[in-house]
Amino acid sequence: MIELRTPAEIDRMHDAGRFVASVLEATAAASVVGANLLDIDKLAHDMIRKAGAESCYIDYHPSFGGSKFGKVICTSVNDAALHGLPFDYRLRDGDVLSLDFAASLGGWVTDSAITITVGTPREEDLRLIDVTSRALDAGIAAATVGNRIGDISAAIGEVAHAAGFSVNTDFGGHGVGRTMHGDPHIPNDGRPGRGLPLRAGLVFAIEPWFMLGTDRIYTDPDGWTLRSADGSRAAHFEHTVAVTENGPLVLTARK
């Protein structure tokens, strides 16, 4: 079901989005060489408690998950592309880390992700991160009244293809509101002019994720973490965006 939000509701979601952005800022800053993924999760959990927010992940148990997630943030390192389950791992020099965080504040969910390098970055990783980030920007720019979902998908896919990356469309953007996942689904590739027409009040997460080599993934034995089939590294960027009469409004923008 497609739900439209009033301007007042989008204001509330913006408050929730600022909180999610602050958690990503803090956890990204803490993600230095030697930092343990479990401590990064604990930092996010402490911020949730302090803000009176609720985790969208800790009790999450969808059909594709092995069990309840049990943590509050996804930490995907190197060949992990999505849904990285935090474990007892200390970040190493040259790692690529994606942080994906969703929480509910005041009853409204927002969802956002960022990819960073730890310590001394590799050139190819910086390029992957740049391309994925630019794909998110292109997708957001296409989230305007009068466009269609396919225009967002096409804008994302175009950036990937221009950079020589293939796109896995198994996981993509999604509606957000009272819950983390709703309609519409927004694939990271597609044809322009197709799909749902965008109207003011639509709120969704746009989330390109690309891998340096393959477009195929497999599930880690932990039951959650999705890794590239060839071990190549991955990047993932996500924002929750409201379609408004004045253009796209990024609810999870970081300072």
Nearer to Mg ion, 95 or 111 (CB): 111
d(CA 40, CA 28): 9
CA-nearest of 185, 200, 181, 110 to 150 is: 185
Contacts of 14 (CB under 8 A, 6+ apart): 242, 249, 251
Query: Closest CB to Mg ion among 45 and 122?
Result: 45
Which residues contact Mg ion (rule: CB under 5 A)?
100, 111, 113, 238
Question: Of the two residues 6 and 179, which places its CB atom closer to Mg ion in the complex?
Answer: 179
CB 106, min distance to Mg ion, A: 19
Q: Which residue has the tokens 């880690």?
A: 220
Least Cβ distance, residue 181 to Mg ion (angstroms): 9
For residue 181, with 0-12 CB atoms within 10 Å meaning exposed, 13-18 middle and 19 or more buried, which class applies?
Answer: middle
Distance in Å, CB of 82 to Mg ion, minimum: 9
Nearer to Mg ion, 202 or 205 (CB): 205
155 phi, psi to nearest 5 deg: -65, -40
Task: Report the nearest approach of Mg ion to the CB of residue 85 (Å).
Answer: 14
User: 95 burial class (0-12, 13-18, 19+ CB within 10 angstroms)?
Assistant: buried
Residue closest to Mg ion when measured from CB atoms:
111
Shortest approach of Mg ion to residue 74 CB, angstroms? 7
Looking at the Cβ atoms of 59 and 245, the one nearer to Mg ion is 59
Closest CB 252 distance from Mg ion, rounded Å: 10
Task: Select from 128, 23, 125 the least CA-distant residue to 75.
Answer: 23
In the complex with Mg ion, the residue whose CB is nearer, 10 or 113, is 113
Strands (E) in the chain, as ranges, are 54-55, 74-77, 80-82, 96-105, 108-117, 173-175, 182-186, 203-206, 209-211, 217-219, 226-228, 234-236, 239-244, 247-250
Q: Which residue has the tokens 């305007």?
A: 144
